[in-house]
Structure 1
Amino acid sequence: MWSRVVEVVLGCWLLMSPFLFHHAGDETGLWVNDLTSGCAVILFGILSYWYPARHAHLLSLLVGGWLMVFAYFAGFGDTPAASQNHLIVGLLILMFAIIPNDADRPPSDWDEALGDDRS
């Protein structure tokens, strides 16, 4: 579940990015987008540790896609760094969200074939 930890870290980065990129106070769209996207990624990453909601991390795909679309259409005018941040973080979220929770474990067929009782 290492990829969920990376997703939570990316969500924390999104929460900090309005302060790091010095969004103006009147740019409420940027603030709301960064804060809600960050909270959503953190929520989905943590929620996927709970077995009944183990596929919640797939909802991060929507957030990653939204960040990329928002960066493309918002334009950001004087702050291209914020736009690049949204594109890169969106791509990273998309990459890590498709990794299954048990990606660090060998396939169950291998355990059965080798007679390994570690599963």
Structure 2
Amino acid sequence: MYVAVVPVLHLNWLCFNSARRLTNFKEEEEIHRLHLTTLLTSASAERIFSTLRRFKNYLRSTISQEHLNHVVILHTHKEFTGDLHIEDITKKFVTFNEHRRHSYVSESLPDVDEVLVKKQVWLYNNSITI
């Protein structure tokens, strides 16, 4: 039987013919299993490191390590964070603390939503693009 060069087909052939394989095929099967697993896991790690490299080139030393970690994780997993409602999160953040409520909302602007929209526009205009 012809064994294909592609590792997946080779591994399938080894598993299918497990009753009659030799001892060196067991080691080869284990190597192929490790190789296939490494291919799947290293893609996300490479994506994280390339994102981190681009981000660090942009900011350099103007950001703390903890903040950098949080931002890179959010950017790397943006498919999960894309559905978050920023307005609700911002409103909860502002109204949670009395000091923040006074800092973000003045007496001349009693509408919290209006102030939050202005803050979000400012944050959007001053945000970085990765």
TM-score by length of 1: 0.34
Q: Computing the radius of gyration over CA atoms, which structure comes out larger, 1 or 2?
A: 2
Name which structure has the greater RCO, CA cutoff 8 Å, separation 6+. Answer: 1
TM-score (normalizing by structure 2): 0.32
